Chains A and B, each alone.
Chain A
Amino acid sequence: MLLKTSEIRELIRLLDETSVHELHIELEDGKIHIKKADTLSYAPPLSHVDVPVAAPAAVPAPVVSEVTTSVTPTFTPPAESSAAAAEEGTVLIKSPMVGTFYAAPSPTSPPYVEVGSKVTEKTVVCIVEAMKLMNEIEADVRGEIVEVIAENGHLVEYGQPLFRVKLA
């Protein structure tokens, strides 16, 4: 019996809420393998290191490292998850850079926002840290946080959804 898309989506949502990183289920007529994006070995494209907010600078030509390596970027977008699924009237706040996502200013502080928090364009919703630059990320939209997608302390990539906001 194949699972319905909505059931797979629910599985992904449940997985997102746990510390389990990978799930493998074998059914009579198929297999499902779900793996969280941040557990993949991730080699970001060089251009992603640039902070897009600093546009319009030209993206520097990729620099070929002198390291001879067989490693190629292994990040592949995760299977459609709650994060990527479109929901009417909502928008995603995405990471403008590769870095570590922090939901709160310090480990002992409450998070900047939670599900139910009202935000305006200038509300700081999180910090993304790269090279020890603590970069405050603003909502850029007005509405209400309906989902916190990224996990505190985990690496996020350029363009990865961090929050879902229901537009006001």
Chain B
Amino acid sequence: MSENPKLFASRIQAELDEELRALPLYVFDEVESTNDLAYQFIAQSSQPILAVLAETQTSGRGRRGRTWTSPKGTGLLLSVALSFTHSDAVHYEEWPLLAAYVAHKVISDLTGVRAQIKWPNDILFAERKTCGILTELSSTRDKRNLIVGFGINVNLKSTDLPPELRTKATSLLEVTGREYDRNQLTAAILTQMHLLRKQVLNGMRFSDLHETWVAQCHTIGKHIRVAQGRDIIEGTAHSIDPLGVLLVVDDQGKLHRIVSGEILESHPFTHLPKEGVLPL
């Protein structure tokens, strides 16, 4: 049997515990965007969680309309929709970081190779992106719907990528030299997301995972350029605070709290250990 079978709901469900097996799971060959479909489904559903997968997307989105390249059958395109009531005390802005924690854990456990998290929610191997996450929040009359879209390069060969992306992206296959069953990967993510939802409803915050998260963070200690709104801030990524805010100290020694920003470039300092794929 191929290590890279197609996505099948039944294969995913076989890996889930009883409670999760009942959750709506939609698997498509081709869709425009799994996040958009997940939103439509959860808006009309009474379920607290559901998932949408596709072998390929025609309008796969990253942040702010950027496209997400994933040749058919090589990646995991998974949107997990979670619903909350308006009165649930959920700190939604923490979810991109929580989702990154889940992706990091699942990918590292599955491959046996330690990945890193680039603030706030990319997963890297040896400086190259392996997983991107797009989190969207919207409301319907009686609930808040959180859509977490994972795009993971699983069985992608670097030759599948456009040349300009080959130094920026990698895959589980490229890192470990073997293929992975995306059904199994999906089940692991759903299990962790379901658990996380329960923990958050029981009061868990990012601050409870802060220490573990920071220990896996690629960004800290790097010299970075970060865009916040229309401003560009350049300095050293000093730390991530317990609310998930990135603290950057610029060259004048001034502290910047990056709440909404994107890291444009990062450079390791020479005195820091060389970044790379570390065996667990």
Chain A residues within 8 Å of B, Cβ to Cβ:
38, 41, 43-44, 46, 49-51, 53-57, 60, 63, 65-67, 69-71, 97-100, 102, 105-109, 122, 124, 129-136, 138, 153-155
Contact = CB atoms under 8 A, between A and B. Distances in A.
What are the nearest 3 A-B pairs in CB distance? A106-B65, A155-B229, A57-B89
Contacts of B228: 100, 155
28 contacts: A41-B256, A46-B243, A49-B243, A51-B92, A54-B91, A54-B92, A55-B89, A56-B89, A67-B238, A67-B239, A67-B247, A67-B249, A97-B93, A102-B64, A106-B64, A130-B93, A131-B93, A132-B96, A132-B121, A132-B133, A132-B262, A133-B95, A133-B137, A134-B134, A135-B93, A136-B138, A136-B139, A153-B229
Given A53-B144, A131-B120, 5 more contacts: A46-B241, A51-B92, A106-B61, A107-B64, A136-B137
A154 B259 contact: no
Contact of B91 (A43, A50, A65, A100): A50
B188 interface: no
Which one of A65, A132, A136, A154 has the highest number of Cβ atoms from chain B below 10 Å of its Cβ? A132
Q: State the main secondary structure of chain A at its contact with B.
A: loop
A11 B254 CA distance: 32
A111 to B, nearest CB: 13
B52 interface: no
Given A67-B247, A108-B65, A131-B120, A155 B134 contact: no
Interface centre among A108, A122, A130 (most CB of B within 10 A): A130
A153 to B, nearest CB: 6
Nearest to A121: B141
A13 B93 CA distance: 32
Contact of A67 (B88, B141, B230, B255): B255
